[in-house]
Amino acid sequence: MIRGRVSGKLWSSRRVPSLPVGALLEIEIDTGGKLIAFDPLGCAPGEAVLVVQGSVAASYFSGVSAPIDALVIGSIDEEKKSKT
């Protein structure tokens, strides 16, 4: 997985029907680069997140074949990390 930070949101009205309804966030990856991830958690701009990539991101959507290759799987606890 990779760490990143929410830097934006995007909308796509004209889309393939199998794209699940939900937030598509722009994530700035900590090690450089950007990607767009589906966010089932409702993360806010600036929030640190954990993103999974590849076919396992799609397997989150059970029963359907979702064309999703990046998924926010957690919000990173920033306070706890600095204490450790």
Q: Which is nearer to its own copies, 46 or 84 (CB)?
A: 84
Closest CB 27 distance from its own copies, rounded Å = 10
Which DSSP symbol is given to 54?
Answer: S
24-83: contacts with its own copies (CB under 8 A): 24, 26, 30-31, 33-37, 40-41, 50, 52-60, 62, 65-71, 73-77, 80-81
Radius of gyration of the chain (CA): 13
Kindly tell me which residue out of 2, 22, 23, 46 binds its own copies, with binding defined by CB under 8 A. Answer: 2
- What are the residues whose beta carbons fall under 8 Å from the beta carbon of 54, sequence distance 6 or more? 69
- Spatial distance between the Cα atoms of 78 and 75, rounded to a whole number of angstroms: 9
